[in-house]
Amino acid sequence: MSRAPAGKVRLQKYLSEAGVASRRRAEELIREGRVLVNNAIVDELPAFVDPKHDQVIANGVPVKPQRHEYFIVHKPKGVVCTNRDPAGRIRALDLLPDLPTRLFPVGRLDADSTGLILMTNDGELAERITHPRFGIPKTYRAEVRGQVSADLPAAMKKGVHLAEGKAQAGEVEVVHASRQRSILMITLREGRNRQVRRMLARLGFPVKTLKRVQIGPLSLRSLPVGAARRLTAKELNTLRKELEAITPASSVTRPRRSRSPLNPRRKQASAASSKRATRREKASVAVRKKITSSNKPAASERESQPPPKRRLIT
């Protein structure tokens, strides 16, 4: 993946953080030719923008950066960590007060898990927290069936083989152990899907309850279940200092596969690129004319979200 030039950010990231749409939907808008940068249609990726100097228009509406917001949510069981849920379930987003900006969860907890969720529109900070190469610690309280063996902490730290590879825990502490149940505090520096549940199930101890209690220096403290609050300035500064102090692990460079010049996919991509160039020339004039001739901005096509069934905090 190519890096952004100095002073610029990826266009889809800029659109997402401005509340236009999710990053994936923003990529679709760009490819559909519905985004202009300095009055020129941009319909190919990667694309970059200077937030301080470039003018960006999406769906006929000027895009302006929004103030970064940071919230901690104490997620109850049954709440989902997605901003779009066709089933109409309560989302972590619904636990926040009404805000003029679009926030998203940093990492996810499955519906059956509870605990700390960080909600923000700061994409750069979110990436540093969730990307495994930064190794931000996340601590969970897991209750399992049965009495765990004395060697379970060492086994989890050594690594458990899952479908996508070996998963490891950073620290494991047995807080309580009896015949009926055991309670463990587990710290991860990875971010695999349902990692704690899958590791413990593989070792023969199905999880009864799982709660995330800490992300880096952030904790729930006395925040009630279902409630949300803004991060304090001290918490945010401490989090940023911890992120800045971490040296990201070097990524492994994988050899690229050689591609045949007769690959039909490459031919199709080349033909599509030519069509896009022609379409861009024709559409650019039409779009600019439409925007300048109308004093009424078109309605922004932000993602439609089902109304919350209930709001646990206002």
Q: Which residues are part of the catalytic machinery?
A: 110
CB contact at 8 A, 8 and 50: yes
**Strands 70-75 and 114-120, sheet pairing:** antiparallel
Residue 22, SS3 per DSSP: coil
Give alpha helix (H) positions in the chain: 11-17, 23-31, 123-130, 152-158, 195-202, 233-245, 264-293
* Whole-Å CA distances, 302 to 120, 152, 230, 253: 17, 47, 24, 37
Which two structure tokens, joined as six digits, stand for 303?
């993602």
Residue 92, SS3 per DSSP: helix
